[in-house]
């Protein structure tokens, strides 16, 4: 299949999953994750209709933003952000989905003030309590949100998660369900300066399950671009 075929097939699968879960389509956004993907291939994806792109590394995001025509597109940072990269992330990302601590939120806020920017962010939740992953623990998320919401330059738009890898579908479903309940619980409290609009969960191997469990933004890489070459 061509890249256009692959992108359109993933989009069709996402729409089918959304319709099966909700009886309608149009809420779920498909992110094309472009980690390690060459600019020429990303340009093909954009030509095929991709308008939401995700990058794991700040330097890669900055380079691709400089070299691609991103008219009408958004490019989000979805990987772990180190403090010393906060300034560059604020300068070139349209959203930071991976705010995994109050400390990094404070760094982002300081850079937003310096650069006179308002940065939409998602808080990353370690829903599976995986010691190998970043993110806030579920029970700490609400208090962290309340503190971060007061930081200037930051707009909290929702939550993001990556459940533990290599597990049975039933376990993944359980974590997605827990995440959706946390999302709904926080949204229902209508906390000041927090818009619980985005729940980002689901990747190439489980995005349909994530949509069924409440995700409205899925991050898909290999199902669109093929297996990664990390050399």
pLDDT classification of 168: cutoffs 50, 70, 90: confident
How many domains are contained in the chain? 1
The answer to the question of residue 231 being in a domain is: no
What is the per-residue pLDDT for 227?
85
The answer to the question of residue 130 being in a domain is: yes
What is the per-residue pLDDT for 124?
98
The answer to the question of residue 229 being in a domain is: no
Owning domain of residue 123? 3-222
pLDDT classification of 194: cutoffs 50, 70, 90: very high
The answer to the question of residue 164 being in a domain is: yes
The answer to the question of residue 172 being in a domain is: yes
What's the CA gap between 146 and 13, in Å, rounded?
A: 36
Q: What average pLDDT does the segment 202-231 reach? A: 92
Q: What average pLDDT does the segment 188-211 reach? A: 96
Q: What average pLDDT does the segment 2-12 reach? A: 97
Could you tell me which residues are beta bridge partners of residue 52? 74
What's the CA gap between 207 and 13, in Å, rounded?
A: 9
CATH of the domain at 43: 3.20.20.10
The answer to the question of residue 43 being in a domain is: yes
Q: How much of the chain exceeds pLDDT 90, in percent?
A: 94
Q: What pLDDT digit, counting tens, does each position of 92-134 carry? A: 999 999 999 999 999 999 999 999 999 999 999 999 999 989 9
Residues 6+ apart with CB under 8 A from 181: none
What is the per-residue pLDDT for 139?
97
What is the per-residue pLDDT for 231?
53
The answer to the question of residue 227 being in a domain is: no
Name which of 15-24, 56-65, 157-166, 175-184 the model is least confident about: 157-166
pLDDT at 78 exceeding the cut of 60: yes
What's the CA gap between 18 and 10, in Å, rounded?
A: 12
pLDDT at 196 exceeding the cut of 90: yes
pLDDT classification of 165: cutoffs 50, 70, 90: confident
Question: Shortest CA distance to 106 belongs to which of 94, 127, 125, 121?
Answer: 121
Residues 6+ apart with CB under 8 A from 158: 122, 123, 183, 195, 196, 197, 198, 199, 200
Residue with tokens 């969960």: 201
What integer best gives the mean pLDDT of the chain?
96
What is the per-residue pLDDT for 230?
52
Q: What average pLDDT does the segment 133-154 reach? A: 96
């Amino acid at each position: 299949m061509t890249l256009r075929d692959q992108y359109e097939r993933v989009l069709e699968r996402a729409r089918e999953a959304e319709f099966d879960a909700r009886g309608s389509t149009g809420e779920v956004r498909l992110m094309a994750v472009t980690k390690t993907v060459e600019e020429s291939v990303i340009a093909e994806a954009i030509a095929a209709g991709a308008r939401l792109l995700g990058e794991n590394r700040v330097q890669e995001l900055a380079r691709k933003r400089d070299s691609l025509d991103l008219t009408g597109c958004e490019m989000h940072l979805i990987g772990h952000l180190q403090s010393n990269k906060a300034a560059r992330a604020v300068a070139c990302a349209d959203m930071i989905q991976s705010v995994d601590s109050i400390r990094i939120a404070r760094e982002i806020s300081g850079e937003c003030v310096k650069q006179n920017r308002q940065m939409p962010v998602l808080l990353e939740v370690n829903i599976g309590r995986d010691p190998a992953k970043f993110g806030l623990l579920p029970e700490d998320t609400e208090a962290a949100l309340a503190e971060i919401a007061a930081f200037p330059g930051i707009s909290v738009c929702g939550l993001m998660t990556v459940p533990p890898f290599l597990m049975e579908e039933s376990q993944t479903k359980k974590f997605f369900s827990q995440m959706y309940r946390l999302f709904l619980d926080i949204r229902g409290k209508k906390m000041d300066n927090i818009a619980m609009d985005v729940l980002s969960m689901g990747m190439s191997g489980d995005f349909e399950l994530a949509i069924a469990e409440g995700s409205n933004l899925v991050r898909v890489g290999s199902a669109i671009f093929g297996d990664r070459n990390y050399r």
